[in-house]
Amino acid sequence: MIAPVTLIVGALILPWTGTAMAAGLAEAPPGAFSCSGCHADSLGVDSAVPRLVGRDANAIVAAMQAFRSGQIPSTVMDRIAKGFTDDEIRAIAAWYAVQKE
């Protein structure tokens, strides 16, 4: 189950997702769109936060686990990562890995 905060964040961010995200809307696992508030889905967006679209799923899973355990220091990702189960993280990571620009 997804934490209620994740659902609220996802609902607030969904209207602002880009075309790459909208193309996969029907297939996106719950919680996937909550990432796009910080992680740009377009190459044209200049951001210090890395893009997730097309990134290796195993790298996303490893990063989320490291944020959750505190191995990677962060301002908010540690709390966000704790709101997802391992299965949810794997599903979101797999979905982002196959998304195209």
Is the pLDDT at 4 greater than 70, yes or no? no
Over residues 9-25, the pLDDT tens digits come to 444 344 334 444 444 44
4-42+49-98 classified as CATH 1.10.10.10: no
Q: From its phi and psi, is residue 31 left (phi > 0), alpha (psi between -120 and 50) or beta? A: left
Measured over the CA atoms of residue 17, residue 77, residue 65 and residue 59, the dihedral's sign is positive
Nearest to 86 by CA among 57, 46, 51: 57
Over residues 37-86, the pLDDT tens digits come to 899 887 788 888 999 999 999 999 999 999 999 999 999 999 999 999 99
Question: Taking the CB of residue 66, how many other CB atoms lie within 10 A of it?
Answer: 16
Q: What is the pLDDT of residue 82?
A: 96
CA dihedral 86, 92, 93, 94 (to 10 degrees): 110
Domain residue extents for the chain: 4-42+49-98
pTM of the full structure:
0.71
